[in-house]
């Protein structure tokens, strides 16, 4: 068992050696601030420089408190380490240095090349403690890292997590800070890394009081899809989020973070500073991985301290080919899809400066990056849950074509990400859910339905009324995977496929990934390509992929190699690739 020293940041309470606590808050627009200790007393706080208020008070761990702004508004600590209930409840002083004894203190993580990510929603698993029961099965499958959807405190007890308003506090409905640490510690004991999805581009609509006492936390000249942009030009704001990153990595010992929608963070210098601070703060030899979601395809960030980026381009072109969908953003991938498929497999990003359907240039060149700079997925929370009825890909695509795409997902040199239940072909939907109330609940329900008004199948209001209400408990419950279905007919076959492919990946691909690079990718026929990658040991990996309905001709000059996997039996001559088929070969270095 091991105690660790707590990370001390600029924001939030700090337990002092004499048993007292230093409370502080950045409130530059408040005339005065007081500390309310629940069940005890109210103490005026001292105004310091640059809008800070602080007080050293004779209260320790377990203390419930709020801040009183201008003698009229009670607010939680914006850097609360835990809440006594929901986002409007009192904050709780947590002793992060001694509240948990680590059983695996020497865990240093795993190299990025070994990563197989598995995205999970903690609430659908029943909380931090209940989630632990599933970890051993994931290691047996071949997963090496779980990725938790955001867990920062949000309003209510049902939410995807992207409506969080207290980013330092683990969601109380999921469990305590100690239970979260126990989940991470248990995962480490099984050899699993743990990643966390964090949201630094906006706050949720309910429970964020910063605009009342720290108006300059936001910049009104810059808009995001969620309102005013966050002003990362200010030192206090930068520290708020960088300290949050360091808290998750140092106090909770997460192995990596996924940064949501950083294209909504226009200040690139904030991102590079964050990466620099992280790498300077973690102990030598420890593997910590920083992963981006970035619609702008800023490849240059992947050589500036960030490990990888979610490759929406790869998903979108594969999805368009598997489903023939062309509405919304799939329109950018449906046209000339085969050429785009080849570019994705041969260079990473599809959009590397080209114009999208709106005539906007998007992206930076990416072919010089290693394939491991890209996280590939066929499904995730967005791509499934942002569908009106949350259908999973197994319900939308031809089974043979989906097996071929799954082989690409799990055997290409890119880093794969699975979405919970995908590995057994779960058919339960993953829907958009919240637990708002009153006018906000009405606005979210109507906003959700209006999102689909531009789609032909939802053109009339009556059809849109069928879209599940995000605030209904049934919407949440219907999204819960049926974990017992894994061994049932129709599901066991998918599970066996994922196990087989991941076994091949760990045996043949992972040991050769360090130093891998893109080599070539060319079109064979409609929806069919041939791609090659140079692996780190000098061997080459070759993919023959045909997602179309007709056979595709193969080059007459055959290349020797060991067949690693074929997604189905060939029914064409040796110089033809059967429809809806993938084959992967390894040509080992001599």
The reported pLDDT for the residue numbered 3 is 56
Spell 480-500 as b/e; 16+ CB within 10 A means b. bbeeebbeeeebeebbebbee
pLDDT lower than 70: segments of the chain:
1-6, 454, 557-559, 571-574
Question: Which residue is catalytic, options 293, 332, 382, 508?
Answer: 293
**Percent of the chain, pLDDT > 90?**
84
CA angle 269, 82, 98 (to 5 degrees): 95
pTM of this structure = 0.96
Which contacts qualify for 218-223: CB closer than 8 Å, 24 or more apart?
Answer: 222/266
The reported pLDDT for the residue numbered 62 is 94
Q: Three-class SS of residue 66?
A: strand
Express each pLDDT in 343-352 by its tens digit.
999 999 999 9
The reported pLDDT for the residue numbered 119 is 98
What is the Cα Rg of the chain in Å?
25
Q: What is the residue-averaged pLDDT of the chain?
A: 94
The reported pLDDT for the residue numbered 221 is 85
- Distance separating alpha carbons of residues 583 and 250, to the nearest angstrom: 43
The reported pLDDT for the residue numbered 431 is 97
Express each pLDDT in 74-86 by its tens digit.
999 999 999 999 9
The reported pLDDT for the residue numbered 149 is 98
Q: Three-class SS of residue 497?
A: helix
The reported pLDDT for the residue numbered 557 is 61
Assign residue 309 a region (left: φ > 0; alpha: ψ between -120 and 50; beta: otherwise).
beta
- Distance separating alpha carbons of residues 264 and 268, to the nearest angstrom: 10
The conformation of residue 346, written as its DSSP 8-state character, comes to: H
Express each pLDDT in 407-463 by its tens digit.
999 999 999 999 999 999 999 999 999 999 899 988 889 888 887 876 777 777 777
Whether residue 569 lies in the annotated active site: no
Whether residue 260 lies in the annotated active site: yes
97: its two tokens: 């240095």
Question: Which residue is catalytic, options 113, 185, 197, 260?
Answer: 260
Q: Provide the sign of the torsion angle of the four alpha carbons 487, 490, 492, 495, taken in this order.
A: negative
CA angle 64, 68, 73 (to 5 degrees): 115
């Amino acid at each position: 068992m091991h105690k660790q020293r707590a990370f001390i940041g600029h924001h939030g309470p700090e337990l002092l050696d004499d048993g007292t606590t230093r409370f502080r808050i950045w409130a530059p627009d408040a005339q005065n601030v007081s500390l309310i200790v629940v069940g005890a007393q109210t103490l005026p706080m001292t105004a310091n420089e640059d809008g800070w208020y602080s007080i050293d008070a004779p209260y320790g761990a377990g203390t419930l408190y709020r801040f009183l702004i201008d003698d009229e508004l009670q607010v939680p600590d914006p850097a609360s380490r835990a809440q006594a209930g929901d986002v409007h409840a009192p904050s709780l002083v947590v002793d992060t240095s001694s509240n948990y004894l680590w059983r695996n203190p020497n865990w240093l993580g795993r190299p990025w090349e070994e990563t197989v990510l598995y995205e999970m929603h903690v609430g659908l698993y029943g909380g931090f403690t209940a989630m632990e029961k599933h970890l051993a099965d994931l290691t047996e499958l071949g997963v090496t890292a779980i990725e938790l959807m955001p867990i920062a405190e949000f309003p209510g007890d049902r939410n995807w997590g992207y409506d969080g308003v207290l980013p330092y506090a683990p969601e109380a409905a999921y469990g305590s800070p100690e239970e979260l640490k126990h989940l991470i510690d248990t995962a480490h004991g099984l050899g699993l890394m743990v990643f966390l999805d964090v949201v630094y581009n906006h706050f949720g609509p309910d429970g964020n009081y910063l605009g009342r006492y720290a108006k300059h936390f936001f910049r009104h000249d810059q808009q995001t899809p969620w309102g005013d942009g966050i002003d990362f030009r200010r030192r206090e704001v930068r520290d708020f989020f960088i300290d949050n990153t360091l808290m998750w990595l140092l106090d909770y010992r997460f192995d990596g973070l996924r940064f949501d929608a950083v294209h909504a963070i226009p200040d690139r210098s904030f991102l590079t500073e964050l990466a620099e601070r992280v790498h300077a703060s973690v102990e030598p030899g420890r593997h910590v991985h920083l992963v981006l979601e970035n619609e702008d395809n800023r490849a240059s960030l992947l050589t500036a301290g960030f490990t990888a980026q979610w490759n929406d381009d790869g998903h979108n072109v594969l999805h368009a080919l598997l489903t023939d969908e062309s509405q919304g953003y799939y329109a950018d991938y449906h046209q000339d899809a085969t050429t785009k498929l080849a570019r994705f497999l041969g260079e990473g990003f599809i959009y590397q400066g080209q114009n999208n359907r709106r005539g906007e240039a998007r992206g930076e060149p990416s072919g010089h990056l290693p394939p491991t700079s890209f996280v590939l997925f066929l499904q995730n929370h967005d791509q499934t849950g942002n569908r009106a009825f949350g259908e999973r890909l197994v319900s939308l695509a031809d089974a043979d074509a989906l097996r071929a795409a799954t082989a690409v997902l799990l055997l290409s040199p890119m880093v794969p990400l699975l979405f919970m239940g995908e590995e057994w072909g779960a058919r339960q939907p993953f829907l958009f859910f919240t637990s708002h109330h009153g006018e906000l609940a009405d606005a979210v329900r109507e906003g959700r339905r209006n999102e689909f008004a531009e789609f032909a199948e939802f053109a009339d209001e009556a059809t849109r009324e069928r879209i599940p209400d995000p605030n209904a408990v049934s919407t949440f419950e219907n999204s819960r995977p049926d974990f017992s279905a894994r061994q049932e007919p129709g599901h066991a076959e998918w599970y066996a496929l994922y196990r087989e492919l991941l076994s091949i990946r760990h045996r043949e691909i992972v040991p050769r990934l360090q130093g891998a690079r893109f080599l070539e990718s060319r079109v064979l026929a409609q929806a069919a390509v041939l791609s090659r990658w140079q692996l780190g040991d000098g061997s080459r990996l070759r993919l023959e992929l045909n997602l179309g309905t007709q056979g595709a001709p193969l080059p007459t000059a055959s290349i020797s190699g060991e067949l690693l996997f074929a997604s189905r039996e060939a029914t064409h001559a040796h110089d033809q690739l059967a429809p809806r088929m993938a084959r992967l070969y390894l040509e080992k270095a001599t």
